[in-house]
Amino acid sequence: MRAEIISVGTELLLGQIVDTNAAYLSRLLPELGISMHYRVTVGDNTYRLADALRQALSRSDIIFTIGGLGPTQDDLTKETVAQVLQDPMQLHRESAEQLRAFFAARGIQMPLSNLKQAMVPTKGRVLENPLGTAPGAAFETADGKVVIVLPGPPREFVPMVDERVIPYLRERVGENSPIIRSRMLRIAGLGESSVEDKVKHLLSGANPTVAPYASTGEVHLRITANADDAPAAERLIDEMDRKLVEALGENVVFGRDGETLEKVVVEKLLRCKLTLAIAESCTGGLIADRITDVPGCSAVFLAGVVSYGNDAKARLLGVDEQLIRDYGAVSESAAKAMAEGARNVTGAGIGISTTGIAGPTGATPEKPVGLVYIGLSDDKDTTVREFRFSGARKDVKQRASQAALEMLRLHMV
């Protein structure tokens, strides 16, 4: 099965937004034994979209379109696909009802223009959209090809792919096709070249393959295996997973695939029956934001204090003002007092703190941009680590939040 993706949108074409949807979908297709051959981006232009579609139909079996399903005039993907495939489309009652209910729940009358979102192929399948107003659709042709039409907003696109498209494709390609499986190991405490050095001898295999990727404050190792069936692929992956963990050392890999660092930390807190309080200065609330992205965190997360001003450090966390005058707000002593203050004022089992220079201003010759102290306090002890992070303001915040979460993870058994 050969697949092709057509991304639709002038903002994508002009580089104003980066196409994360196509990347997401592309990563999943090999698991189904579907190989990607082309990816095309066109603007909101019906002629060029039709041109790209005709060509895709001449060389690929499965074509995905992404974007252009909204209610406005320049959302024309579904209409163009229907026209190229000569499918007259029909109104999908359930989707029309959902649309009306969506607007009714907000006390707004539905603009008539929105009704076009409920039009679906006469030959094919509706792919319901649990999180948006526009359903997707699979147009099926007489010669066995399929055009799958998906919405552009990533928050709608990702769950639709996971919950509707993958099951549809699995059914379509059949159970017995050879498959490709992959798994991602996630590492937070090491840089890309350190990781590569440790696992170099495992990077040249053909099946499974191992490839390292770096993102801000995190390194990923992707294991990909080919096999006749899922259990055989899983066996190959499990074996390589063990070898990589052995080469990297105990407790270096913090999670796999969708296990974020914050998720692992919340699970460890739950398991250890510990509560957490956070005192943030340079990370500005990012650690609390990440922890509260995890459903169920309220069982372990008591409170966060973003003590941006010195006065707030004193009033909300009880940090001694003389200490800040003596050592400065960006100091080992301040980080220690903040972590202890977070525990004291909330009664939490663990307190974690950050204080540093996120930049671009605020640096001094002794305290450069990127200098960050992270404190961790429990009922026995308080430790502080000093870090020097690189990058712009948001990178420093991200790297510091990552280091704080990694310290928390390693602190618990």
Considering only residues 309-328, where is the footprint of a copy of itself by CB under 8 A?
309, 311-312, 315-316
How many angstroms separate the Cα of 274 from the Cα of each of 109, 113, 350? Answer: 49, 53, 7
Task: Rank residues 87 and 265 by Cβ distance to a copy of itself and give the closer one.
Answer: 265
Q: Is 259 in the site for a copy of itself (CB under 8 A)?
A: no
- Reading the block at residue 123, the tokens are 């030959």
Give the binding range for a copy of itself (CB under 8 A) out of 136-144, 160-168, 225-233, 305-313.
Answer: 305-313
Sign of the alpha-carbon torsion through 41, 43, 49, 55: negative
Residue 162 CA to residue 243 CA, distance in Å, equals: 30
Who contacts 408 (Cβ-Cβ below 8 Å, separation ≥6)? Answer: 265, 268, 276, 350, 352, 376
Task: Rank residues 124 and 281 by Cβ distance to a copy of itself and give the closer one.
Answer: 281
Q: Residue 373 CB, nearest distance to a copy of itself (Å)?
A: 17
Q: Quick check: helix, strand or coil at residue 277?
A: strand
Residue 107: other Cβ atoms inside 10 A: 6
- DSSP class of residue 153 equals S
Contacts of the segment 381-387: beta carbons below 8 A, 24+ positions apart? 382/336, 382/339, 382/340, 384/332, 384/335, 384/336, 384/339, 386/332, 387/356
One residue of 122, 298, 326, 364 binding a copy of itself per CB under 8 A: 298
Site for a copy of itself in 23-82 (CB under 8 A): 23-27, 30, 36-45, 48, 51-52, 55, 59, 70-74
Residue 90 CA to residue 78 CA, distance in Å, equals: 12
SS (HEC) of 155-181: HHHHHHHHHHHHHHHHHHHCCCCCEEE
Q: Is 386 in the site for a copy of itself (CB under 8 A)?
A: no
CB-facing half-sphere around the CA of 401: CA atoms within 13 A: 21
Q: Residue 360 CB, nearest distance to a copy of itself (Å)?
A: 6
Task: Rank residues 87 and 283 by Cβ distance to a copy of itself and give the closer one.
Answer: 283
Q: Residue 367 CB, nearest distance to a copy of itself (Å)?
A: 15
Give the binding range for a copy of itself (CB under 8 A) out of 79-87, 228-236, 320-328, 387-395.
Answer: 387-395
Q: Residue 409 CB, nearest distance to a copy of itself (Å)?
A: 19
Q: Is 215 in the site for a copy of itself (CB under 8 A)?
A: yes
One residue of 122, 171, 207, 213 binding a copy of itself per CB under 8 A: 213
Residue 277 CA to residue 342 CA, distance in Å, equals: 6
> What is the contact mask toward a copy of itself in residues 160 to 179, using x (rule: CB under 8 A)?
--------------------
Q: Residue 18 CB, nearest distance to a copy of itself (Å)?
A: 5
Q: Residue 250 CB, nearest distance to a copy of itself (Å)?
A: 21
Give the total of residues touching a copy of itself (CB under 8 A): 111
Give the binding range for a copy of itself (CB under 8 A) out of 11-19, 90-98, 162-170, 231-239.
Answer: 11-19
Who contacts 277 (Cβ-Cβ below 8 Å, separation ≥6)? Answer: 302, 303, 304, 305, 342, 343, 345, 346, 348, 350, 351, 352
Give the binding range for a copy of itself (CB under 8 A) out of 10-18, 78-86, 245-253, 331-339.
Answer: 10-18
- Amino acid at site 107: G
One residue of 95, 98, 307, 353 binding a copy of itself per CB under 8 A: 307
Task: Rank residues 39 and 385 by Cβ distance to a copy of itself and give the closer one.
Answer: 39
